[in-house]
Amino acid sequence: MKALLFTFSGIIALTFFLFAIVFIFEKEKRASLSTLLIGTLISLPFFITGMFFSTTIVISYSLIAIYSFLGIVLLLPTSPNKYKVSKTYPARFDEREIMFSRAELVPETERFKEYYENHPNHKLLDDKFREKPGLMSEKSQKYHPLKFASANANFEVVHSFVQNIKDSEIKSKIIETSPLDLSIYLKKWAKQLGVVSIGICKLKDEHLYSHKGRGAGYALKIEKKHSFAIAFSVEMDKKMMDLAPDAETVLESSQQYLNAGAIAAQIAVFIRNLGYSARPHFDGNYEVICPLVARDAGLGEIGRMGLLMTPELGPRVRIGVVTTDIPLLTDSYKADYSVFDFCTKCKKCADNCPSRAISFENMKEKNGVTRWTINHEACFTYWTIVGTDCGKCMQVCPYSHPNNFMHNLVRKGIKNSHIFASFALKMDDVFYGRKPGNKKYKSPFD
């Protein structure tokens, strides 16, 4: 019995020690110390019982039974609540109404006047962000001349793709290939290019904006020209996003917009080289709502913060999309209720949002769609104050932790059991804090 108790104590202590080592490599001092303390407290009863009470069979077996029962409760598969999921959207969304489009409106121009005549309820809200310094402005709170210049360079390169890639030629000869072989090859190549996840779905009407809201095609009606959509994600660096909302946020965000744009352009040109039509969708050149396409391609679910929650990295990704008419093998979307359940309980993004733009309420039906609603005006106005695209919600999200063995075990536990999910959320608050704040380590650029 003594050997059994010491074995239990040793396994528990070793497990928590290994977790603490992972946290140390992640530079999470609070998490590593908390892990060592909790591991000690949990393993100590076995050690003490083995040292002094191992001959008392009732105490020994009771202790083993209690811990075993708690382990079974946490690990036993339990289904989360069945949340109502909107699989289709009743109407297309107009890109002219998104904040980036509204921010490009120039006062006193005909376009400006026409928009606010049609949307008078937006005028007062938009006047507030126009009074602020602006995104990447030298008068903004987080202004850094070199980092902002780098971010602007990234966006300029992305925008250079618009004409060079969007209108490139299609080869006249069609190269025949099977949808299965092409889909497998495309996914392997995309992974080689650096994508984290990739999926394919049928292109739906509701994936498309109703009208263009940015660039030369402003107000043009968007027609559905393709049958398939390829969606993929690229990772946003954890250490850069941990400094949110500092200048590193917009620098990393713009870099991954650029990476996603480049990969989307490569895939589109590749398909055109096979003799088929393809269009890349990237920053400033969207005709589709990327998170909706990515969701239906099986890449994740839309979470409380309004972003795609991927199984690998949570919301800490940027999305690229290519629409095409080349025959492809599609992936199936299956609602992941564990994400809705976790986001319903968690609310960490709402607690930490500087602009209070993220709702604390449960999902509600709005315009025929059940979802969480974000206050986009409040969010964007904060961006124009700090000068970056914030990223605080990404930083604090428990799903955003590094893609390693320990965090992946937790992710699997969350998906497996809603009881484990509640436990994991409490532990996340213990290890990282309910309001973690910025990390103490220096930026790679300082």
- The per-residue pLDDT for range 116-154, each reduced to its tens digit, is 999 999 999 999 999 999 999 999 999 999 999 999 999
Pick from 21, 52, 62: nearest CA to 39: 21
- Strand 317-324 vs strand 278-281: parallel, antiparallel, or unpaired? antiparallel
Amino acid letter for position 94: D
Per mean pLDDT, which range of 6-20, 103-117, 348-362, 409-423 is the poorest?
A: 6-20
For residue 88, is pLDDT > 90?
A: no
End-to-end CA distance of the chain: 56
Query: Which residue matches tokens 């904060």?
Result: 382
CA 120 to CA 100: how far, in whole Å?
Answer: 17
The pLDDT value given to residue 265: 93
**233 contacts 257 by C-beta, under 8 angstroms:** no
Torsion region of 108: left, alpha or beta (phi above 0 gives left; psi -120 to 50 gives alpha)? left
Quote the pLDDT of residue 32.
94
- Strands 301-302 and 308-309 come out as antiparallel
SS3 annotation, 221-234 = ECCCCCCEEEEEEE
292 pLDDT tier (thresholds 50, 70, 90): very high
pLDDT in tens, 167-216: 566 766 888 899 999 999 999 999 999 999 999 999 999 999 999 999 88
Q: Which residues does 415 contact at the CB level (< 8 Å), separation at least 6? A: 311, 336, 338
**pLDDT at residue 44, rounded to an integer:** 83
- Please provide the average confidence, as pLDDT, over all residues in the chain: 91
Tell me which residue has tokens 């850094």: 144
CB atoms within 10 A of CB 275: 14
Choose among 217, 333, 195, 235: nearest CA to 279: 217
**169 vs 308 pLDDT, higher one:** 308
Please enumerate in sequence order all residues whose Cβ is within 8 A of that of 380, keeping only pairs 6 or more positions apart, or say none: 99, 103, 129
Residue 187 CA to residue 190 CA, distance in Å, equals 5
Q: At what angle do helices 2-25 and 57-75 cross, to 10 degrees?
A: 40
Position of tokens 């080349």?
326
